[in-house]
Amino acid sequence: MNLLPSTAPAWLDVVRRETQGITDRDLFVIPPFPAIFVAREVLGGSRIRWGAQDVHEDDAGAHTGDVSAPMLVDLGCTIAEIGHSERRRDHCEDDRRIAAKVRAALRWGLTPLVCVGERTPGPSKAAAAFIVGQLDATFGSLTGADLARVVVAYEPVWAIGAGARAAAPSHVTEVHLAIRRWLDGLGASATPVLYGGSVDQTNAPDLLATPAVDGVFVGRSALDPAAFVAIATLPLPASEG
């Protein structure tokens, strides 16, 4: 719940200008609902995609305060973030509802960016088992072709928020490899898996070099457009081209 429609243009202008030469990676921003139209105005014609922080599972109807997939498409969105831990906490969203939102996004050609993550720190194997359970509940009914249109963001809940620290690369590696094995088993080897959770300019290079990490999902650090640009323009690991 940051950036007003009146302050978003300055942030977006910086990001568009400073990343305009970047062509070897996908960049996206997910502003709050009232600022999506600003993203459309500023980012239209650029390589930066924009999306929304949530989407309702129904296409229309008596759901006061909610926003549907066709509304987002009409605003030029191509991504819908689904299942963030704060939505799960504040709005009591469970895996069943998140699965319905994923299907709604897919119906309208949006890329569901689905957040998964364990609530408390612990062994990597336990975290991986918990995440696989979330994947089963959320994606179990989807085909490999459907999953090829999805992005998974691993965001350990304990690594999100002021004062939190990013998960160690070794922990991230084990969880991401478990996610990758689960996806591969359904024929979705091309589905990107991002890491999110206290990503900043200091730890982003190591996280991007971590096995099975396809990119980073930046939250708090992205409030400063210069910090976001610094992360967005980092050299890619040699193995990724």
Q: Per the structure block, which two tokens stand in for 19? A: 């990343």
For 132, counting Cβ atoms within 10 Å of its Cβ (0-12 exposed, 13-18 middle, 19+ buried), the class is: middle
Kindly report the number of other CB atoms within 10 A of residue 8's CB atom: 22
Q: Per the structure block, which two tokens stand in for 209? A: 């070099």
The answer to whether 160 and 208 are in contact (CB under 8 A) is no
Q: Per the structure block, which two tokens stand in for 240? A: 């990724």
CA distance 151 to 183: 11
Q: Which of 155, 171, 174, 176 is catalytic?
A: 155
Closest CA to 19 of 231, 170, 211, 199: 231
User: Is 56 part of the annotated catalytic residue set?
Assistant: no
User: Is 176 part of the annotated catalytic residue set?
Assistant: no
Largest CA distance in the chain: 51
Q: Per the structure block, which two tokens stand in for 36? A: 């999506």
The answer to whether 35 and 11 are in contact (CB under 8 A) is no
CA 58-52-106 angle, to 5 degrees, is 50
Q: Per the structure block, which two tokens stand in for 9? A: 């243009």
Kindly report the number of other CB atoms within 10 A of residue 159's CB atom: 23
Q: Which of 56, 57, 84, 118 is catalytic?
A: 84
Q: Per the structure block, which two tokens stand in for 56? A: 């309702």
Which of the residues are catalytic? 84, 155
